Amino acid sequence: MKVLIVVTHLLGTGHLARALNLARAYGAAGHKATVISGGMQAPQLNSDGVTLVQLPPLRSDGVDFARLIDKDGALAVTDVFDARRDMLINHLRALHPDILITELFPFGRRTLKAEFTALLKAAHDLPQRPLICASVRDILAPPSKPAKAALADELVARFYDAVLVHSDAELTPLDLSWPVSDALQPKLRYTGFVAPPAAAPHPQKLGADEIIVSAGGGDVGAYVFDTCLAAAERDPSRRWRLLLGGQNAVARSDALMQTAPANVVIEPARPEFRQMLYHAAASVSLCGYNTALDVLQSGVRAVFIPFDAGNEVEQGLRADALAQMTGINVLRNADLTPDSLLATLKTVLDSRPRAARSSGFDGAAMTVTLTEEMRATQQQGDTL
C-alpha cells in the first residue's frame, strides 16, 4: 500500500519522531510510506528508509501556538500558507495513497485548520478515497473551551474512519485528557505506545555515571539547562552532560561551554542518546512522549521536569502517571531550583534499580496491522 503521513511539529520534534517511526513500520511491512513535514527541519532524527517531503517550514512563537513563524523568523504570511496547501494537495494527488494519516489534527493544530481541511476534502474527492485516520499520542492538551472538542468531533465525523491512539488504554486512556464523546468513542483504536525498537547499550559506554540532561528536540528547556549548570557547580564530584536540541544548537552549546564548570559537557543532541541512557547515573528531562518512552525502555533513573509554560498540562499528567514507578520523580517548574534538583536527584539515585521495560512499545507495528485490516474492509465495502 501507499501510505501518506502528514505532520507539523511547532515546538519540539516529538510529533515528527512518531510519524517517522510509523513510516518505518509501514516500510518494514512492505508498504511505501511518505511523511510530509511542515515543521522546522530536525536532522538529529532518523529518517532512514522514509521518503520525507518538506513543506515551507513553520514553528510556533514560543508557546503561542496561534502565532506561526517562518524559516526566517518572521510572522508567517498568506503566501506561505498558500504554498503549503498547494504542495500538500499536489503530493496527495500524485501519490493517491491507500492510507492517509494526519498527526494530531483535528485534536490540535487548529491554526492550520485551512490546510488540513483542504487536504481532507481533496482526499475525499480522489477516484478511490483512502482510509483516513487521525494519529494522537497518549495525552492531549485538554480543550480550553467546549467548542474545540465539538470541532474535533465534527471533523472526525465528516472526514475520518478512525482515530489511532498511541497509548495503553489501561495506563493512559484518551479521556484522561480529552472529553471523549459518545460519537467519538467508537472510532478510537488503541495501538500501544509508538517507539523504535529498544536501543542497544552504547558499545563504548558513553554517558557512564553521568547525569544526562535533555529537553527534547525543540528550542524549549533553557530554564532546565540553566538550573542544571548551577546545580553542577554545587556538585563537582559528579559529571553532567547537557544535550541541546532545536535551532542553532551548535552555536548555543559552544557559547555555554565557555563558562561551564569543569565537570560539565554541553553539546548538541546526539543520535546515540537512547544508547547512553543505559549507562547514565540518571536522566533529567522534560516529559514529552518520546523521552518518557526512552526512559522506560532503558530503565534509567529519572527526574522529570514537565513542560508547563502557556498552561500546558500534557507533560505533567504523563509525568505523574510514570512517577508511580520506582526511580522516577517529578519536579515542577514552580519548585525548580539548583538545591531542589540536587535533592530530587539524590532521592532517585538512592532508589533501587528499575528494570528496563520491553513490552507495550509495539504501537507502530499494531498501527500497521489495524490499518491494513481497516483498509481491506473498506475495499470490500467499495466492491459491494
Chain segment 262-281, per-residue pLDDT in tens? 999 999 989 899 999 999 99
**Element at 372 (helix H, strand E):** helix 363-383
Chain segment 101-148, per-residue pLDDT in tens? 999 999 999 999 999 999 999 999 999 999 999 999 999 988 989 999
Which residues lie closer than 8 Å to 29 by C-beta, 6 or more apart? 365, 368, 372
Q: What's residue 254's pLDDT? A: 93
Cell digits of residue 123: 482526499
Distance CA 50, CA 65 (A): 28
Q: What's residue 219's pLDDT? A: 63
Q: What's residue 383's pLDDT? A: 63
The neighbour count for residue 322, using CB atoms within 10 Å, is: 20
Distance CA 64, CA 93 (A): 33
Q: What's residue 197's pLDDT? A: 84
Distance CA 289, CA 278 (A): 18
Domains and CATH numbers, the chain: 2-197+361-383 (3.40.50.2000), 211-350 (3.40.50.2000)
CB 11 within 8 A of CB 218: yes
Of the candidates 41, 30, 36, the residue with the CA atom closest to the CA atom of residue 51: 36
CB 211 within 8 A of CB 239: yes
Work out whether the CA dihedral 109, 68, 58, 288 comes out positive or negative: negative
Where the chain has pLDDT below 50, the residues are none
Q: What's residue 233's pLDDT? A: 96
Look up the pTM and report it.
0.81
The alpha helices in 105-248, defined as continuous H runs, are 113-124, 146-159, 222-234
The alpha helices in 75-134, defined as continuous H runs, are 78-95, 113-124
| 211-228 residues labelled b (16+ CB within 10 A) or e (exposed) | bbbbbbbbbbbeebbebb
Which residues lie closer than 8 Å to 5 by C-beta, 6 or more apart? 19, 22, 23, 33, 34, 35, 36, 101, 103, 135
